Amino acid sequence: MIVASLKGFRISPRKIRLVVNLIRNKEINVALTILSFCNKKRCALNIKKLILSLLSNWEKKYNDDKSNLYIKKIIVDQGKIMKRIRPVPQGKSHRIKKKLSNITIFVDKKK
């Protein structure tokens, strides 16, 4: 089993989970095809890059055929929160929370 992770991704975890649920427990080739036609382009592009990085890790470690790989597990956790301030009337301010995400993907071989 091979693992790759992306930390500090500037999209909230709730939005990423919409894309991740489409490719969970799918084969790698099917998952890459789904991501290329997904509506959430920015999120799908970064997950696609993460999967391609995972495939290169697989080649370096095992030197094996990667046609029968599948996504075993994907975890999307909340990372840090960037706190910003938005000015509002009468000299006050409201706090804005910009959420970051951590994504971890596990790939394994089908038996």
What are 35-60's pLDDT values in tens digits? 999 999 999 999 999 999 999 989 88
What are 50-108's pLDDT values in tens digits? 999 999 989 888 887 778 899 999 999 999 999 999 999 999 999 999 999 999 999 99
Please give the average per-residue pLDDT across 30-37, as a whole number: 96
Neighbours of 107 (CB within 10 A): 22
Q: In the chain, where are the structural domains located? A: 2-109
Class of the CATH domain delimited by 2-109: alpha beta
Q: Output the CA angle 1-38-16, nearest 5 degrees.
A: 60
Question: What predicted TM-score, i.e. pTM, was given to this entire model?
Answer: 0.88
For residue 17, pLDDT over 80 is answered with yes
